[in-house]
A and B are shown apart, each in its own frame.
Chain A
């Protein structure tokens, strides 16, 4: 089973709203990722958690706040977003952080976010 589950599938929010995206995996993976994908573009890395610690923050604006409550869950808290933040937000997980090991990332179906 290589399933990564993301909720909700679709989200519409206003610029003053606070919302959260959720991601869950039960594969025992120790690295989890958030990506942002605009239409007809490749996924762009936002954050990486490795062993529940924030490992990489790709200079993402503070209106995006990640959280890793435990090794199976990853959240992305959203506050005061802009219309240009509308995109598909993808979560992924991999067995480990990589290094000498292969870093095959398994992706969820994504949350389609629209900011009005």
Chain B
């Protein structure tokens, strides 16, 4: 199940089950979104992205769903494996003015820790 409190939200799943990690974003002007996986002692690793003009995108074993109406993003992992255990962050991109152009700016969500039980 999922627990939210003073610490990092945690999702615990059985190996082989599907996982769903949710994320609420804040800015309706954000134009695309990225999911990152961060394993202990490592930097965030790109998993999948989705542009704001799409509502679903699939990768290998992962699917991202975007609901702009309620500003909600989810990451689905099929057949979860022990190697999927990590903290997962969603990030929204919002452009900021820069030298007459614009600079992309990622805002990270709080993160969800996924634990896979063998």
Contact = CB atoms under 8 A, between A and B. Distances in A.
Chain A complexes with chain B? yes
A107 B104 contact: no
Contact of B103 (A4, A44, A90, A98): A98
A40 B8 contact: yes
How large, as a class, is the contact surface on chain A?
20 to 34
A98 B46 contact: no
Interface in A65-116: 90, 92, 94, 97-110
B44 A56 contact: no
Nearest to B31: A100
Contact of B99 (A31, A55, A104, A110): A55
A42 B34 CA distance: 14
Contact of B98 (A41, A55, A101, A109): A55
Interface string A22-65: 00000000010000000011111100101001011000000000
Nearest to A94: B104
B7 interface: yes
A109 B41 contact: yes
B85 interface: no
B95 A98 contact: yes
Contacts of B93: 98, 102-103
13 contacts: A40-B7, A41-B111, A42-B111, A43-B44, A45-B106, A90-B43, A97-B103, A98-B93, A98-B103, A98-B104, A101-B104, A102-B32, A106-B46
Interface of A: 2, 4, 6, 31, 40-45, 48, 50, 53, 55-56, 90, 92, 94, 97-110
Given A98-B105, A106-B46, A109-B41, 12 more contacts: A6-B43, A40-B7, A43-B89, A45-B106, A56-B98, A90-B43, A97-B102, A97-B104, A98-B103, A99-B104, A103-B32, A103-B106
